[in-house]
Structure 1
């Protein structure tokens, strides 16, 4: 399970950097400095990455076929969490470090926190691996 989590973390890091850049690009393209625009950009960021992420997790991380519909449900749940939490983290980071930092870090903070339950949900519920499986 530790190796799987390491792979999950590496995959998440690579896709996370891609998501971060895409989220900021979409947010700035919306040209509206609101929490709603920030949440919309976060939602739109997840859409193209879901299929790629499923293929990577199926072939490289968990090495099981999994159930795609459950993967989508798991991702929607985490996406909802990140979309709701990212404006909150954006605000907290702005208050702590100043205004430009929240735009750059709110999504990242929410995504990092969401990665922990995401691993366990996908490992056990989507790909059907028990705690004893290697």
Structure 2
């Protein structure tokens, strides 16, 4: 199996701590984080992905709006040097413990957060990032 993510959700999973838009959203994101933490491959998509699934019917306009597409572009651009591959739709990667540590360190310093500007979760993610991985759902990777 493969987890399908849009590029900016690679950033979201770094500080995801069990909060979200609805109970269904949280339950779904919890499952996705478990799969990624177990070593399941991630494939990048353009547009709504596995994270969006529980809210896609209610947020169809949001998932396709220009600002969200720009978040994906910025996230892909910022993350590519750390991941080692171009992060365009169709790209595939497996999150490892060393890669997760590099991404979290870069996120905490703000180096890969251009896509986060204007996001309603920005303040919460900033607070979580200050505490390292304490309280995050994605605690381990192979």
Give the TM-score normalised by structure 2.
Answer: 0.33
Give the TM-score normalised by structure 1.
Answer: 0.34
Q: Which has the higher strand share?
A: 2
Which has the higher Rg, Structure 1 or Structure 2? 1
